[in-house]
Amino acid sequence: MRLLVFFAVISFISLSPVSADNTTVTEASTTPATKSALAAKSLLLDIAKISKDKVVAVGQHGHILLSSDGESWQQANVPVQATLTSVYFLNDRLGWAVGHDATILHSQDGGLNWHVQLYLPELEKPLLGIHFKNELEGIAVGAYGQFFRSNDGGKSWQSEFHQEFLLADDVDYINDLKAEDEEAYLDEIAFILPHFNGLVQDGRSLFLMGETGLLAKSNDFGKSWQKFNSFYQGSFFSVARTQNGKLLVVGLRGHVFRGINNGQQWQEVPTGTTALLNDIVFADDGRIFILGNNGMLLISDDDGETFTQRTQHDGKPLIAGLWFKGKLLAVSDVGIKVLVLPKT
Amino acid sequence: MKISLASRIEVALFRHKLFVLMLFVITSVFFLFQATQIRLDASFTKNIPLKHSYMKTYLKHRANFGGANNILISVCDSRGDIFNPEFFNALKGAHDKLFFIPGVDRIQVKSLFSPSTRFVEVVEDGFAGGPVIPADFQATKQGLAIVKANIEKAGIVGSIVSDDYSCAMVKAALLEFNPDTGEKLDTLDIAKKLEQEIRQEFERENITVHIIGFAKMVGDVAEGAKGVVLFFALAIAITAVMVYLFCHSIRLTILPIFCSLVAVVWQMGMLSTLGFGLDPMSILIPFLVFAIGVSHGVQMINSVVKKVALGLTPALAAQASFNALLIPGGVALVSDTVGFLTLLSIDIGIIKELAITASIGVAMIILTNLVLLPILLSYTKIKTTAKVGQLSEESAVWTFMASFATKGPARIILIFSAILFVVAVYKGQGLKIGELHAGAPALHESSRYNQDTFLITDRYAISVDYMSIIIETTPNACTYYDTMATIDRFQWRMENVPGVQSAVSLASISKLVNAGYNEGNSKWRVIPRNQHTLVQSIARVPSSSGLLNTDCSVMPVILFLKDHKAETINTVIDAVKTAAKELGSEHVQFKLASGPVGVMAATNEAVAKAQLPMMLYVYGAVIALCLISFRSVKATLVVVVPLYLVSTLAQWLMTALDIGLTVSTLPVIALGVGIGVDYGIYILSTMSTKLKEGLNVHDAYLAALKERGSAVLITGLTLAIGVSTWFFSDLKFQVDMGILLTFMFLVNMLAAIIILPALSAFLWADKKKVKK
């Protein structure tokens, strides 16, 4: 049993603006994605709901695909060929997608056309998650603790360095370095933080999950973070709250943890697998699915207390998924898959 | 002048005929000895157009990427599960045996038992890994369970282990030279070793061994080609019966067959003396030589017997026949020879060899059947009452056929021929270049080799139909993001081309490895922009993977295709060319092509390119020889026009029977024209003499039929029956060649006795009126 450890944090944040203006990103300088016959059958990395009747999936080569039935997919107009890792829609019009080369794309027409808000290939780092709480305020996170914030719907993005995620030893080291050598300091902070793997909104709270057992919660939209006391050394890839109000977090090597009392206590849920677990999906009927690599599908019908394995035969990684019109859709390296489920 | 030349040769030869005969005996003994030394000979490079730009690329990089000459051995357990000690013993045995066969590139031998077959797994603090089969492996239940788990982690299901775990693979590439002796690799010997030391050794009740690859295919072709001996015997027997029915004399039957066999012996002896072997692909040529020899022999017997019947002594009759046949027979055989020699213009070793083999053979016939045969005949007793042919000279058949040379029937024949020609041209446009069927095209679909091919492509996620696009760039290019991204983009475009099933390159592997380094998280499946990370992602890929050379200045993108049909290949080649132009630059060049399908693409292009020039040369030769011997444009026309019609019909036949234009069928077209012209030349040589004597076309044709008709018919039938025995061959390409040659021989014969006179009726019509 471990208690939550709260960090007072605001002072740790250093801000620096990054915007389309000072990095001179114009769409003319990027190569638009090409429409390809196999786009829906090749590596896709995230899938999200745009509306009750429409879903969007993103993946390699700047592929963004739209579908209203989960079977036929239409490719959107995308100005980049970067591999896109995550997509989020605020409503049926406004959506954002992020990916490698620190790319942020935005659509205002329900995903048909996209334009570049941020594109910084020279950073050599991918963005892995994005979230907007309203039409103006949004956060994008990524590898090596990248953290971008916008207050104008993505027109401009400011980079934030969240020092609270540094290890205790590193804090001193960084502070010393900052005093001695500004340049070395800047080099160091570019890669010192753990990867931020994604953002999940849960009511008023925002969850951040990442490398080396990173799981944190913010009640002020990411300005300050409360880290949960470490209960696992590996990476987390998704977090969600069950119907009964329990937290569920999944990560490396088949690890699933169930948080009781808002995460004051964590129990490991045995899964019987060592596959990397990517995503958590809730069905309308209360079942919980966990999607993993090597075709691993875990199913729970007791609010995540126990899971049974339902490995998909082809062994393809199930990278992200959602419940859509009574079906479990998943994306993998062979594109969209409609998963076969046992009868309930 | 022409007659006096033949006469001079005649006098010279027949005055010293005993001496000439002695020469023949001595030469024959020598060549017979040489012929016994001939060996079967097959090599991979002979089958490919070496000067084609694709093949230059292929040869340039073969040392690094193993090229297209691979061996795949799939060991299967018929109980459906490989995890038992018996299977692992057999697999290890097959691996070790293959490893030690001289000529196998030992670095590239890959199976579960090769040390390079490793697994890597992600754990919290990094990687864990090791060989799939641990050093302390014991084939116990426990040991096998560990191997099974390692196989899954290593991601080799579909390549080294079949999708359903019923088979495992041993792969190897062959060198061009035997490293022990430094000599050219004996492909047939490798094939024999694969069969004897691997299949026979390890195949038993529950274990089956499936071997594919060029060397094995050639071995099986050579094995199938041995059936040729049976066909040869059969052909000799049938031919003997035909000739006997023609001449009703055992002695006269034996002589032309004997002389033709002498021609075959000389041909083989000559080849052996010149240092050539006999390729399984051209093993049928000796029989063709035999059949052509007999057909000319029949003409000679026909002439001699007829002259004896007129009251000459056999010696004088033979001498006179020699004189009469030297020119038409010589022209016919020279045009055959030239027809074969035109094949030399094709840049594929095996076709060139076939051209040499065949033209030597036919040239030998000039000596054996136009010189030796009449000399032998001059010693033979022939009754003055001897008769040749089933049809008497006054037969109503000849009278009926002669009417083809009158304008009425001729008009009908010509109109009908014209319609046939138009239809054939139209239908013949569908003629496809390349192989049209799955599996090894030289062999039947039901053959063990093709069944093994189907099994392997069915149970593994690999295809034997792959093509490599070679990317030539600068040293260490694989450490530059831009180069790798370009390759990745190219690969993605190719994956979208219809007919491409999947693709692999260093770029796609580096993406997988990069994801592996990032905890197996698919979101990192990209080519790293950061150079250090990029280097890390490719550092573990050895050059033996065939995906890069030692300084990674050359990297292939391997495209796995759904089949090797000509249409599929063309679609992919076109797409590659377009993409190469758009994505390529001075520093990153996309070069076609290696891999089995790359070779096929080059061969198809070479065959397609050779078709027109070959036809021009062969027809040019025929036309030139006709002009020289007949000194008449009209005579040349009546010989060549029916010939061309038959060539066109043959293309229609190929289209209808789904026979593609390939290395084995292309020569048939040249052979068909070269040999098909014989009939026309024999008929016309009598006709033109008679026309010059003032006879009208009808009478001249009737005279030609009486003199040569039976012989032409018997010749056509003999040749056709001889090659039709190939229908029963174990080898698909021999069946195709047999069908085409039978068709060409029969239909050319018919065209010569039906269309030739009909054309003559119009061409010489004016002259006839003037004469009247």
Tell me the per-residue pLDDT of B336-373, one tens digit each, with 9 for 90 and over: 887 788 788 777 888 888 888 888 998 899 999 888 99
Closest CA to B412 of B695, B745, B757: B757
Distance from CA of A45 to the nearest CA of B (A): 6
Among the ranges given (A220-224, B44-48, B56-60, B386-390), the one the predictor scored with the smallest mean pLDDT: B386-390
Contacts of B150 in chain A (CB under 8 A): none
Interface test with B, best of A31, A35, A38, A255 (most B CBs within 10 A): A38
Average pLDDT, chain B: 85
Residues B253 and B364 in one domain: yes
Q: Contacts of residue A43 in chain B, CB cutoff 8 Å?
A: 522, 525
Six token digits for residue B74: 């799939």
Q: Between the CA of residue A177 and those of A172, A182, A224, what are the distances in Å?
A: 9, 7, 24
Confidence label for B431 from pLDDT (cuts 50, 70 and 90):
confident
**Alpha-carbon gap: B743 to the closest alpha carbon of chain A (Å):** 46
Helix H or strand E encompassing B144: helix B141-154
Partnered with residue A150 across adjacent β-strands are A138
Q: Which residues between 433 and 492 in chain B have a beta carbon less than 8 angstroms from any beta carbon of chain A? A: 489, 492
Residue at a domain's end among B336, B363, B388:
B388
d(CA B27, CA B372): 12
Instruction: Say if B610 falls within a structural domain.
Output: no
For residue A197, what is the nearest residue in chain B, using CA coordinates? B523
**B185 has a pLDDT exceeding 90:** no
Sheet with B500-505, edge to edge strand ranges:
B500-505, B554-561, B466-472, B589-594
Residue numbers of B between 489 and 518 with CB closer than 8 Å to A: 489, 492-493, 495-496
Residue of A nearest to B534 (CA): A124
- B525 vs A: CB within 8 A: yes
**Using CA atoms in the order B46, B51, B52, B58, what is the torsion angle rounded to 10 degrees?**
70
Q: Which residues of B155-179 are buried (b: 16+ CB within 10 A; e: fewer)?
A: ebbebbbbeebbbbbbbbbbbeeee
Preceding amide of B593 cis, omega within 30: yes
Q: Are A246 and A260 in contact (CB under 8 A)?
A: yes
Question: Are residues B342 and B482 located together in one domain of the fold?
Answer: no
pLDDT at B123: 63
Residue B181 forms part of a structural domain: yes
Checking if the pLDDT of A166 tops 90, the result is no
State the smallest CA–CA distance between residue B586 and chain A in angstroms.
20
Nearest to A43 among B521, B525, B530 (CB): B525
Is the pLDDT at B389 greater than 80? The verdict is no
Residue B114, CA distances (Å) to A325, B167, B186, B208 in order: 49, 16, 25, 21
Which one of A195, A212, A331 makes the best mutation probe of the B interface by having the most chain B beta carbons within 10 Å? A195
- Chain A hits for B529, CB-CB cut-off 8 Å, are 100-101, 121, 124
Measuring CA to CA, which residue among B614, B69, B434, B500 is closest to residue A38? B500
Return the residue in A75, A124, A332 with the most chain B beta carbons within 10 A, the one to mutate for interface testing.
A124
**What's residue A315's pLDDT?**
78
Distance to chain A for B527, nearest Cα, Å: 10
Q: Phi/psi at A142 (nearest 5 deg)? A: -165, -160
B379 and B524, same domain (yes or no): no
- How many contacts does A have with B, using Cβ atoms within 8 A? 65
Chain A residues whose beta carbon lies within 8 Å of the beta carbon of residue B496: 36-38
Identify from B148, B523, B529 which residue to disrupt to test chain A contact, counting A C-beta atoms within 10 A and taking the largest count. B523
Query: Residue B747: inside a domain, yes or no?
Result: yes
Output b/e per residue, B505-539; b: 16+ Cβ within 10 A: bbbbbbbbbbbbbbbbbbbbbbbbbeeebbeebbe
Q: Which residues, numbered 307 to 336 in chain B, qualify as contacts with chain A under a Cβ-Cβ cut-off of 8 Å?
A: none
The residues of A whose Cβ lies within 8 A of any Cβ of B are 34, 36-38, 42-43, 45, 60-61, 81, 83, 85-86, 100-101, 121, 124, 126, 128, 197, 233-235, 237, 252-253, 274, 276, 278, 293-294, 315, 317, 319, 332-333
How large a percentage of chain B has pLDDT more than 90?
21
Domain count, chain B: 4
B526 to A38: CB separation less than 8 angstroms, yes or no: no
The 3-class secondary structure across B321-362, one letter per residue, is: HHHHHHHHHHHHHHHHHHHHHHHHHCCCHHHHHHHHHHHHHH
Average pLDDT for A82-92 = 95
Partner A contacted by B234 (CB < 8 A): no
Q: Tell me: pLDDT of B186 over 50.
A: yes
Task: Give one word for A77, left, alpha or beta, with left for phi > 0 and alpha for psi -120 to 50.
Answer: beta
Residue pair B195/B189 in contact by the 8 Å Cβ criterion: no
Q: What does the alpha-carbon distance between residue A125 and residue B720 come to, in Å, rounded to a whole number?
A: 74
Note whether B122 contacts A124, CB cutoff 8 Å.
no
Residues B381, B269 share a domain: yes
For residue B110, is it within any domain? yes
> How many other β-carbons are positioned within 10 Å of the β-carbon of residue B149?
13
Angle at B13 between CA B320 and CA B389, to 5 degrees: 35
Is the four-CA dihedral B723, B728, B730, B732 of positive or negative sign? positive
Give the CATH number of the domain where residue B637 resides. Answer: 1.20.1640.10
Q: Which residues of B are less than 8 Å from A38 in CB distance?
A: 495-496
Task: For residue B521, give the nearest of A124, A276, A315 by CB distance.
Answer: A276
User: In this structure, what DSSP letter does residue A268 have?
Assistant: E
Between these two residues, A169 and A253, which has the higher pLDDT value? Answer: A253
Test B520 with A37 for CB contact under 8 angstroms: no
Q: Chain A contact for B519, CB < 8 A?
A: yes
Has residue B549 been placed in a domain?
yes
Taking phi over 0 as left and psi of -120 to 50 as alpha, with beta for the rest, A30 belongs to beta
> Quick one: what percent of chain B has pLDDT higher than 70?
95
**pLDDT mean over A191-216:** 91
Residues 6+ apart with CB under 8 A from B270: B31, B34, B360, B364
Res B771: pLDDT: 40
Is residue B554 located within the same domain as residue B649?
Answer: no
- Asked if A292 and A273 count as a contact pair (C-beta separation under 8 A), the reply is yes
Q: Which residues of chain A neighbour B524 with C-beta distances below 8 Å?
A: 126
In a domain, B627, yes or no: no
Across the interface, which of A61, A85, A253 has its CB nearest the CB of B523?
Answer: A85
> What CA dihedral angle connects A333, A334, A337 and A340, to 10 degrees?
-90
The beta-carbon neighbor of A83 closest among B489, B526, B533 is B526
- Per the CB < 8 A criterion, the answer to whether B111 and B168 are in contact is yes
Cα first-last separation, chain A = 35
Rounded-to-integer distance, Cα B187 and Cα B169, Å: 21
Q: What is the ipTM for the molecules in this complex?
A: 0.92
Q: Which residue, chain included where needed, has tokens 């697994």?
A: B119
Is residue B583 located within the same domain as residue B664? Answer: no
Range of the domain at B568: 465-601
User: What gap in Å lies between CA B43 and CA B176, rounded to an integer?
Assistant: 9
Region of A203 (left: φ > 0; alpha: ψ -120 to 50; beta: rest) is left
pTM higher than 0.90, yes or no? no
The CB density around residue A340, as the number of other CB atoms within 10 Å, is 11
Q: How far is CA B368 from CA B21, B232, B363, B745, in A?
A: 11, 19, 9, 22
Looking at residue B552, what is its pLDDT?
A: 87
The token duo for B484 is: 């790798």
Decide which of B580, B601, B622 is a domain's last residue.
B601
- Nearest residue of chain A to residue B530 (CA atoms): A124
* Highest-scoring range by mean pLDDT, B433-447, B603-617, B644-658: B644-658
Instruction: Report residue B116's pLDDT band, with 50, 70 and 90 as the boundaries.
Output: confident
Looking at B359, B388, B417, the residue that finishes a domain is B388
- Vertex A284, ends A283 and A289: CA angle to 5°? 10
Looking at the complex, report in whole angstroms how far the Cα of residue A38 sits from the nearest Cα belonging to chain B. Answer: 6
Residue B440 lies inside a defined structural domain of this protein: no
Same domain, B113 and B26: no
Beta carbons within 8 Å of A175's beta carbon, 6+ residues apart: none
Q: How far from B750 is each of B202, B545, B645, B744, CA to CA, in Å?
A: 55, 59, 12, 10
- Under an 8 A CB cutoff, do A253 and B524 touch? no
Give residue for tokens 């075959």. B264
Are B280 and B372 contained in the same domain?
yes
Reduced to 3 DSSP states, what percent helix, strand and coil does chain B have, rounded to the nearest 5?
Answer: 65, 10, 25
User: Tens digits of per-residue pLDDT, B284-324?
Assistant: 788 888 888 888 888 888 888 888 888 888 888 898 888 88
B124 min Cα distance to partner chain A (Å)? 6
Task: Supply the mean pLDDT for chain A.
Answer: 87
Q: How confident is the model at residue B168 (pLDDT cuts 50, 70, 90)?
A: very high
- Look at residue B75 and tell me whether its pLDDT is greater than 70: yes
Nearest to B132 by CA among B94, B164, B168: B168
Instruction: Write the single-letter amino acid at B572.
Output: V
Place of tokens 């029963």: B728
Q: Find the mean pLDDT for residues B556-576.
A: 89
Buried b (16+ CB within 10 A) or exposed e, B452-482: bbebbbebbebbbbbbbbbbbbeeebbbbbe
Mean pLDDT of B129-151: 85
Pair (B366, B412) in one structural domain: no
Q: For residue B523, give the nearest of A45, A121, A252 by CB distance.
A: A45
Task: Say whether both B241 and B352 belong to one domain.
Answer: yes
Contacts of B715 (CB under 8 A, 6+ apart): B294, B295, B296, B298, B299, B678, B679, B682, B749
CB contact under 8 A, A276 and B524: no
pLDDT in tens, B265-289: 999 999 888 888 877 777 778 888 8
**CA nearest B516 in A: which residue?**
A276
Inter-chain residue contact A319 with B523, CB threshold 8 Å: yes
Q: Which residue of A has its CA nearest to B531?
A: A124
Residue B620 lies in a domain: no
Angle at CA B538, nearest 5°, toward B537 and B543? 160
pLDDT of residue A7: 39
d(CA B26, CA B654): 45
Residues B488 and B537 grouped into a single domain: yes
Instruction: Please provide residue B459's backbone torsions phi and psi, each rounded to the nearest 5 degrees.
Output: -90, -20
Task: Please give the sequence-ordered ranges of beta strands (E in DSSP) within A115-233, or none if there are none.
Answer: 115-118, 127-132, 138-142, 146-150, 156-162, 196-202, 205-210, 215-218, 226-227
- B678 and B582 together in one domain: no
Contact B490, B579 (CB under 8 A): yes
Amino acid at site A63 = H
Query: Distance between CA atoms of B721 and B726, rounded to whole angstroms?
Result: 9
Q: Transcribe A10-67 into DSSP letters.
A: GGGEEEEEEETTTTT--GGGSPPPPP-TTGGGS-EEEEEEEETTEEEEEEGGG-EEEE
Collect all residues with Cβ–Cβ distance below 8 Å to B168 and sequence separation of at least 6: B74, B75, B82, B87, B91, B111, B112, B160, B161, B162
pLDDT digits (tens, 9 = 90+) for B461-494: 777 788 989 999 999 888 999 999 999 999 999 9
Which DSSP string do the residues of B175-212 spell out, in sequence order?
A: -SB-TTT-SBP-HHHHHHHIIIIIIHHH--SSEEEEEE
Residues B75 and B528: their CA atoms lie apart, in Å, by 39
Interchain CB distance below 8 Å, B530 and A317: no
Taking the C-alpha atoms of residue B78 and residue B767, their distance in angstroms, rounded to an integer, is: 79
